[in-house]
Chains A and B, each alone.
Chain A
Amino acid sequence: MTRSDLFIGNCYAVSPERATSRFTRVRSVTLKGKPRFADFNLMPPNWGAHFAPWVSATAKAYPWLEKIHLKRMSVTDDDLALLAESFSGFKELVLVCCDGFGTSGLAAVASKCRQLKVLDLIESEVSDDEVDWIMCFPDTETCLESLIFDCVECLVDFDALERLVVRSPSLKKLRLNRFVSIGQLYRLMVRAPQLTHLGTGSFSPSEDVAQGELELDYVSAFAACKSLVCLSGFREIVPDCLPAIYPVCANLTSLNFSYANISAEQLKPIISNCHKLQTFWVLDSICDEGLQAVATTCKELRELRVFPFDPREDIEGPVSEVGLQAISEGCRKLQSILYFCQRMTNAAVIAMSKNCPDLVVFRLCIMGRQRPDHVTGEPMDEGFGAIVMNCKKLTRLAVSGLLTDTAFAYIGKYGKIVRTLSVAFAGDSDMGLKYVLEGCPRLQKLEIRDSPFGDTALLSGLHHYYNMRFLWMSACRLSHQGCQQIAQALPHLVVEVIKHEDTVHTDDYADTLYMYRSLAGRRHDVPKFVSIL
């Protein structure tokens, strides 16, 4: 069987040598590295997921390689330089939640990959090596179709960027970083009215306001972008500038306001025109009232993410069960939701389970740990139970709030197609985890933190671990012996116990367990704070 798109969901599941010798005609490689909880500082730095062995293996095996897509990998400038040297026809580089490289690595890609169509840097950490990588693109016309660099925290030379846009006639997606002012955005927009995806950068005037920056005709610039369907950015938004986007609202299918601290009043005139909106990311600064406005207009909404402006616990939050209820009533086609709040009720969650039968992803984060139903004082068991019971298409679930083992009994009983489950500060006893491991045959990715599940529960999943991509358990009640038993019973599982520098080290307590199936056996790049059992 030949395969031209190689997808490796865990870079340690197979060795680069084995993968490249098994699949010979690969044009595109997708690699995922660290587990998701690493995003929240639960993994010490330098744990692994290095791109280096992969770039060198693929450089030898696939000189015709066109596309590399990495998520949560450690990538160095040398890796990027090797990539740029090795693949003459290279077309697409997508780096999501990656780190370890800087602008000098980007410069290598920009200058050497003459066929480059896509350079997408998404939520990655890019160090400022004081190399202006934008200047490194060749002077000739480029093939660029997508240039996404909104996460890059350093200044680029604007004139060079403008010239690049001018000589990139195929450019459709452009997402600027926050160092681009609204006046500069204007100049780029008039050069590229063919854009379909635009990240607006800061969306505020520059510090030393050039005379006339505020007088530019932004409305016309937006109106000229007749193909614009996806808008994001607004990193330092000046709300007075917001009306400029009115001309494109009616066509938008995706709008990302999740860095814009705007109120309900500021949102309403915009959202009331966004009839076609399918994806909406926003800050909770819009309050329940803003969500009600979304619910009124956005009947086609498929994905909603509500992020907290102030991500602390135990404070008054601006969104609550009221907003969730409103969304459930207005947005019946909802498929995916991520909702951060300070208070919630079972009733609202149950309502959503009934009103939104197409839900595939339900992620509710009640930020106060172990918060019960705000009105009844009861655990949130019934709400999450209703979600798994009523949402027949649900494959991804993240739970929060006060949850007893009952919630997990529901998940085990009804969550028959759940693939990804995220648990934090929940459950009463081993039974909780047992219900899930015994009840969810499709479970692939299970991440648990700070929950009272111990060795007995861990052992109850032996029958299933080879079917899973990974299991993460941190700050639970596992012992080394328990983890050892798993390792001995399942030789094709790599069982890593990760020590954190300031947890008390006892032989009995295993603070963080990360285990995954692998054909490669124990990896060779193990840092000293990891023991592989």
Chain B
Amino acid sequence: MERSMAYESDLNLKATELRLGLPGSDEPEKPSTTPSVRSNKRASPEISEESRSKGSSCVSSKVESGERDSAPPAKEQVVGWPPIRSYRKNCLRAKKNDQVDGAGMYVKVSVDGAPYLRKIDLQVYKNYPELLETLENMFKLTIGEYSEKEGYNGSDFAPTYEDKDGDWMLVGDVPWDMFISSCKRLRIMKGSEARGLSC
């Protein structure tokens, strides 16, 4: 839809200017990890020799001089190292995907005037429009569009969130990645208070 496209590109423009390169951003990921250890692919002897000798020559020269000024460069992952069985790796990998640093992905959502709270998993959403659509459906209300200057002007509802510092912010002001890593909970404000947020 035209409107939501405009919404999205609006945010993205802002996002670019404020980009901090947080994980999950559009920037290319550093090629620091290589084939998964589950594959049987192994480095050819030349390569493994090379990386071994690179690693060890880097290390042994330092050992000779009795110094150690920096950690060896991050190495490519190799098959079967560290020696953990795949069953255990798979079990724990599933757990890691559930876990998140910082504020945590499950946040409570309250709506002014509603008697109960809901909980949502922010990880499930890729951007603001998806999140807002879910909130609208969940609580049967209309939040409308975000604009940088005027917030959710014209709407009876304004989605706000409490961030890591304890401040209440308007949803949409910061890039999505920053939002999900700092949002502790959501509150959908209603009425005049909401309308007043545009100032």
When A41-B37, A41-B40 are in contact, do A369 and B46 touch as well, CB less than 8 Å? no
B123-161 interface bits toward A, Cβ cutoff 8 Å, 1 = contact, 0 = none: 000000000000000000000000000000000000000
Q: Does A217 contact B (CB under 8 A)?
A: no
9 contacts between A and B (CB under 8 A): A125-B87, A308-B82, A310-B96, A311-B92, A313-B77, A313-B81, A369-B55, A449-B80, A502-B41
B61-94 interface (Cβ within 8 A of A): 62-63, 66-68, 71-72, 74-75, 77-89, 91-92
Instruction: Check if B84 sits within 8 Å of A307, measured CB to CB.
Output: yes
Instruction: Check if B45 sits within 8 Å of A511, measured CB to CB.
Output: yes
Residue of A nearest to B89 (CB): A311
Residues of A within 8 A of B42 (CB): 475, 500, 502-503, 511
When A308-B84, A313-B77, A402-B63 are in contact, do A370 and B45 touch as well, CB less than 8 Å? no
Q: Does B3 contact A (CB under 8 A)?
A: no
A235, B84: Cα distance in complex, Å: 17
Instruction: Check if A503 sits within 8 Å of B44, measured CB to CB.
Output: yes
A355-397 interface bits toward B, Cβ cutoff 8 Å, 1 = contact, 0 = none: 0000000000101111110001111000000000000000000
Q: Report, nearest first, the 4 A-B pairs whose CB atoms are least far apart.
A: A377-B68, A40-B80, A504-B44, A367-B82
Residues of B within 8 A of A376 (CB): 68
> Which one of A235, A314, A449, A501 lies within 8 Å of B74 (CB-CB)?
A314
Residue of B nearest to A365 (CB): B82
Residues of A within 8 A of B74 (CB): 313-314
Residue of A nearest to B67 (CB): A377
A377, B70: Cα distance in complex, Å: 10
Instruction: Check if A41 sits within 8 Å of B86, measured CB to CB.
Output: yes
Residue of A nearest to B73 (CB): A314
Q: Does A42 contact B (CB under 8 A)?
A: yes
Q: Does B52 contact A (CB under 8 A)?
A: yes
B11-44 interface bits toward A, Cβ cutoff 8 Å, 1 = contact, 0 = none: 0000000000000000000000100011111101
A426, B26: Cα distance in complex, Å: 40
Residue of A nearest to B38 (CB): A41
> Which one of B45, B82, B83 lies within 8 Å of A509 (CB-CB)?
B45
A258, B92: Cα distance in complex, Å: 10
Q: Does B122 contact A (CB under 8 A)?
A: no
When A235-B91, A314-B74, A475-B48 are in contact, do A377 and B63 touch as well, CB less than 8 Å? yes
Q: Does A85 contact B (CB under 8 A)?
A: no
Q: Tell me, rounded to whole Å, the shortest Cβ–Cβ distance linking B166 to chain A.
A: 23
Instruction: Check if A123 sits within 8 Å of B82, measured CB to CB.
Output: no
Instruction: Check if A314 sits within 8 Å of B80, measured CB to CB.
Output: no
When A369-B55, A450-B52, A502-B41 are in contact, do A40 and B87 touch as well, CB less than 8 Å? no
Instruction: Check if A501 sits within 8 Å of B87, measured CB to CB.
Output: no
A501-530 interface (Cβ within 8 A of B): 501-504, 509, 511
A370, B75: Cα distance in complex, Å: 11
> Which one of A365, A377, A428, A503 lies within 8 Å of B83 (CB-CB)?
A365
Q: Does B4 contact A (CB under 8 A)?
A: no
Q: Does A425 contact B (CB under 8 A)?
A: yes
> Which one of B52, B77, B99 lies within 8 Å of A261 (CB-CB)?
B99
Q: Does A151 contact B (CB under 8 A)?
A: yes
Residues of A within 8 A of B40 (CB): 41, 44-45, 500-502
A255-277 interface bits toward B, Cβ cutoff 8 Å, 1 = contact, 0 = none: 00011010000000000000000
A308, B88: Cα distance in complex, Å: 10
Instruction: Check if A377 sits within 8 Å of B75, measured CB to CB.
Output: no
A40, B79: Cα distance in complex, Å: 7
Known: A41-B86, A504-B44, A509-B45. 16 other contacts (CB 8 A): A37-B80, A39-B86, A41-B40, A41-B79, A42-B80, A259-B91, A308-B84, A309-B92, A309-B95, A310-B96, A365-B83, A369-B78, A370-B72, A371-B72, A377-B68, A502-B44
